[in-house]
Structure 1
């Protein structure tokens, strides 16, 4: 029961939150943990705030200006635990999350199983939202969780998961070339390699929405990075099960992405068409009344540009 859990935290300019994050970990009911923080070149007071916490349990390393995924990989390379939890420097979890995840994973899982818990989203105005989820159930094989996430059943953040070290190793490291949807691509590979995904619903994690992280980036490079990850995830899904249902799921997921981002990148259509052609997919845009009206005489491209430009 008392296996070591390594908590891997990339940190960049988290001075407003990192103290609360560390205090939350210290107060967890499960105390056999090591906290590995990797600073990515913070320019605020983050490092100075962390220093008083440092001891044999909480450790700080520096791997500056290489990005969050490089920091995660570096933290994992320094880990010693049988179980791994990736989290961000501004997130936290309910007091018994780690204890209960370890217990259930050891009782019902294997060295290639994972466990996950629901999340709450905390906004800067103090509002705490429980996203609608239908994914909080056990999956065997675990890739069913990925398919249900893409089918609109909800989503997880890194902190939701506890993963055996063996599963982390077989899934491969975090892709350091990805700018956006880093965790989506990484955990798609974890779900692919896991034999099952266990759900623990009586504890939860808090995913802070600061609006300043990589997930909020909408640059052309970031959008292109998302398409790269979607290409990889579609390949994982269709390699597991290629039928009308999984194809429609992929088509609708791509369609929602286009609906939300088309105006931000002029070359999006070319990149998107390459993916559609590669997997012989069609583009299924969301069923939105205004879009349906406009596209009947403007076409979908001009309609989306108009909707985005005027925030319709």
Structure 2
């Protein structure tokens, strides 16, 4: 009989050990094109080989190639795998590389980054959260009238359908990934997951619209509350990347939008559980100077530092890395405060 109980104890031991394992920390990274990321890996390839910049990229290299992290996994819509260079737009990086580095270095358990980002989306329309309701009647009527100029048989349903579509797609992407996490990442089979943070980096399409900017502070509050409610995480840490286009040379439109973002986070209910991270501090001054001189006329120099337009943070890998790290550090601070 003692032998029988000893065997039972041995069989139960692995299950007990798994139950005591810390959960996989899941972070939902959402937004539009700059959460996608448009900094080309080809620029990183060059910088990784230069004495002045190779130390910046050394933590991400394995010999002459980009390393993969076994402890940080990424799912970006149809792509998935171990964290490495290239999980932005095709052949690009976004904030996920620096973000994943910070989280992977900080926590001993696996980290999973789920990116739900699509270019050209607004909080006013595409990511509009349920509690925001629909825009005022006069705004919808104007949209319908404008649409009918291009499509004579347009209906109000054509106008209202896009509202909240990206918000719902974001939730679906998170839920479907977590539900089938072992199918996506076999190394996570049998492990529990914990939603550990919501990272929001978005704003250009709202910034260029006076109506959307005017609503942004209110809609950002709705977004935070609704994500927490819909994902069953009432105390979910939230990190918002502030608009940082043009660095300290931002125009009045960018400044107005920044003020709206700040007002959205400044509510008492978000004190200590949501934070706004400045991204203008990571604006690439070297890339900016070449862009302003004329990137086409200085193409060789430009290809060493940048790869896109200012609204994509000049496609600077250094900027994307800095922003990702700053978002990651804020997520760690909020989680540990929680």
Shorter-chain TM-score bucket reads under 0.3
TM-score (norm 1): 0.25
Q: Name which one, 1 or 2, has greater alpha-carbon Rg.
A: 2
TM-score relative to the length of structure 2: 0.23
The structure showing larger relative contact order (alpha-carbon pairs under 8 Å, at least 6 residues apart) is 2
